[in-house]
Amino acid sequence: MLEVKNLSKSFDKLCVLKDINFTVEKGEVVAVIGPSGSGKSTLLRCVNQLEKAGGGEINVCGINMMHTNEKGKAVFADTKTLREIRLKTGLVFQNFNLFPHMTVLRNITEAPTLVLKKSKAEAREHAIELLRKMGLEAKADAYPSELSGGQQQRVSIARALALDPEILFFDEPTSALDPELTGEILKVIKELANDGMTMVIVTHEMAFAHDVADKVIFMEGGYIVDEGTPEHLFGDNASDRLKQFLQRFNQH
Partner 1 sequence: MTGEQIETLFGLMLEYTIPTLKIFCFTLLYSIPLGMVVALLKMCKIKPISWLTNIYILIMRGTPLLLQLIVAQYSVPYILKSDACPAFLHALLDGVDIRSETYTFNMMLFAFVLNYAAYFAEIFRGGIESIPRGQYEAAGALGLNRTQTFFRIILPQVIRRVLPASSNEIITLVKDTSLASAIPYMEIMYIAKKQVPTYASLLPLFMAGLFYFAFAMVLTLLLSLIEKSLDPMWRRNVKTLRKGIFRRGNA
> Would you tell me which residues interact with Mg ion (CB under 5 A)?
41
List of residues 6+ apart from 201 with CB closer than 8 A: 29, 30, 31, 32, 169, 170, 173, 189, 209, 212, 213
State the angle between helix axes of 104-114 and 120-133 in degrees (0 to 180), rounded to the nearest 10.
Answer: 130
Amino acid letter, 221: G
Closest approach, Cβ 232 to Mg ion, in A, equals 24
Tell me if 185 sits within 8 A of 173, measured CB to CB.
yes
Does residue 101 touch partner 1 according to CB under 8 A? yes
Q: 198 is in the binding site of which of ligand ATP, Mg ion, partner 1, none (Cβ under 5 to 8 A by kind)?
A: none
Shortest distance (Å) from residue 105 CB to partner 1: 12
Does position 141 bind partner 1 by CB under 8 A? yes
Contact between 238 and 232 (Cβ < 8 Å): yes
Asked if residue 91 binds partner 1 (CB under 8 A), the reply is: yes
C-beta of 202: minimal distance to Mg ion in Å?
Answer: 6
The residue sitting closest to Mg ion, measured at its beta carbon, is: 41
Stretch that binds ligand ATP, among 40-48, 97-105, 115-123, 127-135 (CB under 6 A): 40-48
β strands within the chain, DSSP E: 2-11, 14-24, 29-33, 55-60, 63-68, 74-76, 89-92, 167-171, 198-202, 215-220, 223-228
Residues that bind partner 1 in the complex, under the rule CB under 8 A: 48-50, 83, 86-87, 89-91, 93, 95, 97-103, 110-111, 114-115, 141, 143, 145-146, 156, 159-160, 163
